[in-house]
Amino acid sequence: MDQKLKIFGVWMASLLILFNFLNYSYNEVYSQTSNIKNNKNGIRDNRGYTATVLQYDKMKNCTNNLSERPNETQYLTYFNCGHVTTNDKTKTTTRQFTLIAEENHTIPISTIGHKFHAWTYNGTVPGPTMRMTQGDHIQITLINSKDSKHDHSIHMHSIHAGLMDGVPGASGASGMVKPGQNFTYSFIAQPYGLYPYHCHVDPVEDHVNRGLYGMFIIDPPQPRKPMHEMAMLMNGYDMNYTHEGGSFALPKLDIRDPTNLVPNGLPDRHNDIYTVNGEGFVYRDHPIHLIQGQWYRIYLTNMLDFDLINSFHLHGMMFNYFPAGTSTKPAFTNDIVTQTVADRGILEFQAGFPGLYMFHAHQSEFTGKGWMGYFNVTAAPPIKHNHLNKI
């Protein structure tokens, strides 16, 4: 009997050691945030650890340089969390962002050398990835450059008042910010998830095709499991759209024979270059370095217009997928996900084996016209901090 008890005791001790070991890496991440006492702006995760707003922002890899114009490699990990102020009395956090709309940037759109006269938020296509936490009070000031020739707006997906919706004619001053003027969009960030934002001034397809879009992340109050994170926005460029002009519209009506199709002379729009993060083939020519065994999270948004659907296919690995990021439980596991215009979701995957792995749209046309890249998985020892920035 004593012998059986001893064996039982050894087994229990082993299980405890194993349990502590499994917990170690998670707790290590949170340990620096677990000693906060009496902080009214604290954020409590699902294991009872508390982080301040600033510590949560640090976990989110928020940039310290809000005015930076990130290149495509920097864009992967460029998270703009705004200017933060907290109010202990009201227990609120306010984040202030500034987006400047300009029409004078000529940007590279392929590594072959193609360029495009873009309209931009803060000088880049896509615009900055803004990041906030559910419940934050958000103020996003859109400044339309005095040199602009067009009105612009910001239409954000997620929940907000109609007068903050950024649609001309329907949303008051938020729908049409004239050159040289500005407007501040205010809302409380909810619910947590991943969202696109874009200009909604007509013709919307042209303002979007020119580059006025980006994504923003509303993080859950309880942090997601810590992983290396990156942002990917799928887009395209119709390079000769200025020659085509005009909006989509119905065919002309033949009153004598309404069944007759009369072309309206308006454009047959199509994309010439497809990309992720703004420049075709950029991650083919500059593969993204991953480390075997580590977990990665991709915030994936599709802002490709003129094509009904886009996709993300990952070679050699499977990812868990969280549609729109509005749940912390995955909806499915796959190696491909399809998104229509403005759809988005979160992918989480573990780099399994060393090697060079394609990721790309599974539409061959998109792949051939720029939308493909590589993950370079190595078995090198883990680098603790932010190696994605050092590709």
Min dist. Cβ of residue 166 to Cu ion (A): 10
Min dist. Cβ of residue 344 to Cu ion (A): 21
Min dist. Cβ of residue 155 to Cu ion (A): 10
Closer by beta carbon to Cu ion, 212 or else 233: 212
Q: Residue 376 has which token pair?
A: 């370079």
CA distance 168 to 102: 19
Closer by beta carbon to Cu ion, 306 or else 312: 306
Min dist. Cβ of residue 273 to Cu ion (A): 21
CA distance 174 to 156: 11
CA distance 299 to 319: 12
* Cβ(164)–Cβ(200) below 8 Å: no
Closer by beta carbon to Cu ion, 145 or else 350: 145
Min dist. Cβ of residue 143 to Cu ion (A): 13
CA distance 319 to 277: 20
How far, CA to CA in Å, does 21 sit from each of 10, 27, 31, 74, 380? 16, 10, 15, 34, 22
Cα-based angle 336, 342, 348 (whole degrees, multiple of 5):
40
Q: Residue 203 has which token pair?
A: 């013709």
Chain positions contacting Cu ion, by CB under 5 A:
152, 199, 201, 207, 212
Closer by beta carbon to Cu ion, 45 or else 103: 103
Q: CB within 8 A of 147, min separation 6: which ones?
A: 102, 103, 104, 179
Closer by beta carbon to Cu ion, 140 or else 199: 199
Min dist. Cβ of residue 210 to Cu ion (A): 8
Closer by beta carbon to Cu ion, 99 or else 194: 99
